[in-house]
Amino acid sequence: MPDIDIPIPDELREALAAPKCVNLDPPKPLKLTLPSGGALSVPADLGSNIPNDCSVSFSMMLQLQPILASMDCILKILKLLKPLSDAVTSPPPTPALVKDIVNAVADLAPCFLMVTPAGILPFIRDILCLILRLLRCLIGQVKTMIGIMSGLTIEIDKAKAGGNDELVASLECAQGNALTSAGELLKALDPIISLLDMMAPIMAIGGIDAIKMPALGDDASVEGMQTMVTTLETVVDTIQGVVDAIGGCPS
């Protein structure tokens, strides 16, 4: 019996091809210095997928937001306690009271660094470095989505020109899924914007102007995402300039 070659569509051939092995790079170590002298690190999540820079950075951000939220009143109290402690130690109280005050002030001394540029700048620097990592991850994912959506548009036009309605329907379904993914991707900016807003009073203590995220819109089209990438790259340049001025991100 003669052999008969049956042509296989490229889409089916690609689906049946053996998966390529992708070398996974481990995420870079991530530590965030706190004004109190302690540090935050990202614990390993044994129940999730293999971690990468994006997942590690978002995990750190989830730890960071409640800390920033709780620091507002503490910073205000410390700013009040410092002049009060100076006023209390000036008059000549009893020796026992002087000893108690001196000991209490000595215990508070490291905390006073929190309201000085020297104590707050490493904290600001590390947060901004974290935001840089997040934004660069996000920009990379948006660029990938732009490539996918652009490629799908080209393939849909080809399928329509060839009258392949079944392929058109499949590609339009994939395009709809890509648009949905793009919309979810844009939501990842919300916690970053909130984080920058929460940092404004802390950055003021360090003598640094607040960084505001410009309006990005919610257009999940290719053109809208290309505009968003340009805007985000400008924000990255701004943050990088601030970070470089206060020592740069730890290597």
pLDDT at 205 over 90: no
From residue 177, how far is each of 45, 55, 151, 184, 225 by CA, in Å? 28, 22, 14, 11, 16
pLDDT at 214 over 50: yes
End-to-end CA distance of the chain: 67
pLDDT digits (tens, 9 = 90+) for 147-185: 888 888 888 888 888 888 888 888 888 888 887 777 777
**Six token digits for residue 24:** 């996974």
Question: Contact 237/164 with Cβ under 8 angstroms?
Answer: no
Alpha carbon 105 to its chain centroid, in Å, reads 37
pLDDT digits (tens, 9 = 90+) for 112-148: 777 788 888 998 999 999 999 999 988 988 888 888 8
The one-letter amino acid at 203: M
Sequence ranges of the domains in the chain: 54-245
Least Cα distance to 213 among 192, 227, 237, 188 occurs for 192
The answer to pTM > 0.75 is: no
**Six token digits for residue 215:** 């309006």
Decide: helix, strand or coil at residue 113.
Answer: helix
Q: Which residues contact 126 (CB under 8 A, 6 or more apart)?
A: 31, 32, 33, 250
